[in-house]
Structure 1
């Protein structure tokens, strides 16, 4: 008897291979600032993950666990998700530095009460945080950082092949240590503006002591806002250079996580 076969077994194997490859890429896109934003539809994110996974399956030879729903397969899926989340989280740490800097500047200017919805996370953030976030996003995209980061995600399949992709304790400690770099970058961004605001507040305090009849709130708040806006305009070129360095540092940190 002749048994007909239409090759559906091979098609099913390729489908599960595609789903397995999509795990790392999807986790990285979910944790990344741009691709994981609340404004990005889930359908678009899944489509991007599938498109990149098809290219990875064609370019990189991969060994997929024979049974994904068995214990070894579930462990391999957890490994893929961990690597993807680490790559996206490192990028997210760098993009959190302007938000921290905006908190400091807004508090010194008296504008901490002004907040808007962050399009990246959906949470409320200072209005100045939107300014710094948009500036960093434009510079990051202009430098091609998103393409370099996607290349790092694809290269991670060769450096950390599936099935042997557990991050070492040194790599996990490296990811945590990037939080300190984030605070250092936030201080560097906020330092020029906060220094000027500190001088304005010092002069306002001197005037209030020398002339107690002056209303401190009526004088200090407008002076702080005007001085802060002027300082932001003057420090804009310096902030642009800091954003470019922050973008390069984010990509360097992501490369260090996968050992490149």
Structure 2
């Protein structure tokens, strides 16, 4: 008759329980996986499948403990997965923010749609660019890159090896808000430059022909020129999304290191 000691059972549970927490929290915040259209049960089931697939290749895990240290480890794993997901999501939101800026300058600020990824009303052009960025994210195997970094994080940040992420880590993540606006403006700069030139041209035209109705004339001009400029900027979107994904994954690792969650 087989018999197992309590320590053995806790060790077997820990080999799957700790990776499951980190993977589940990542899926709750990562782009594409965190879409509101995906039910929570599907995320949990997918996290279970990933845990079973990754557990044999991960470093040894500590056994499950029901003391203060065990609960601290639970919160630590949830924080690490959440930080990784938020970092990549934050970087990819650059494309959506650029779409909002361009749409506002084109006169499309009044046109809003439901964003399928976030479940909120945003500018229609921003929704289009966001969906396109998510498609490129998948086509470029960004989701696989994210899962690969997740598996590597168990070596960089072993389970139970350090304290919770401190305030410095969250401040570093929040400080990327300035970078978010800077990158969005850089991506939308060609379209904004075209529209500024069009504005200057209309200003000169208003002086030469004051009888023209600039409100009726300006909207179609801005719309057409904005779409043309956006069309010529589209080939660079693949490079932009690739760079944003890599930057997001680098940010996730930097935040974890800054929070003292790893050993140096």
Q: What's the TM-score once normalised by structure 1's chain length?
A: 0.88
Structure 2 match to 1:50:
48
Name which of 56, 71, 94 aligns with 2:91. Answer: 94
Equivalent residue, structure 1, for 2:113: 116
Q: Which runs of 5+ in 1 are unaligned?
A: none
Q: Which runs of 5+ in 2 are unaligned?
A: none
Which residue does the alignment assign to 2:137?
A: 140
| 1:147-226 equivalent positions in 2, closer than 5 A | 147-165=144-162, 166-167=164-165, 171-226=169-224
- Residue 82 of structure 1 and its aligned partner are, at CA, apart by 0.8
Larger mean Cα displacement after TM superposition, 5-14 or 38-47: 5-14
Number of equivalent positions = 255
* CA deviation string 1:112-165 (max 9, x = no partner): 111111111111111111222123222222222211111111221222122224
What is residue 235 of structure 2 aligned with on the other side?
Answer: 237
Moved more, 48-57 or 247-256: 247-256
Q: Shift in Å at residue 57 of structure 1? A: 2.8
Match of 1:30 in 2: 28
3-state SS of 2:122 partner: strand
Deviates more, 1:195-204 or 1:125-134: 125-134
RMSD: 2.3
TM-score, reference length from structure 2: 0.87
Residues in 2 aligned to 1:185 and 1:131: alpha-carbon distance in whole angstroms:
18
- Give the counterpart of 2:102 among 95, 105, 111: 105
3-state DSSP of counterpart to 1:116: strand
Shift in Å, 1:8: 9.9
Q: Which stretch shifts more, 166-175 or 142-151?
A: 166-175
SS at match of 2:31: coil
Distance in 1 between residues matched to 2:28 and 2:169, nearest whole Å: 20
Name the CA shift for 1:241/1:56 in 2 (closer, same or farther; >3 Å).
closer
| 1:67-113 residue CA offsets vs partner (Å, 9 max, x unmatched) | 1xx33222111111111110001011111111211121011100011
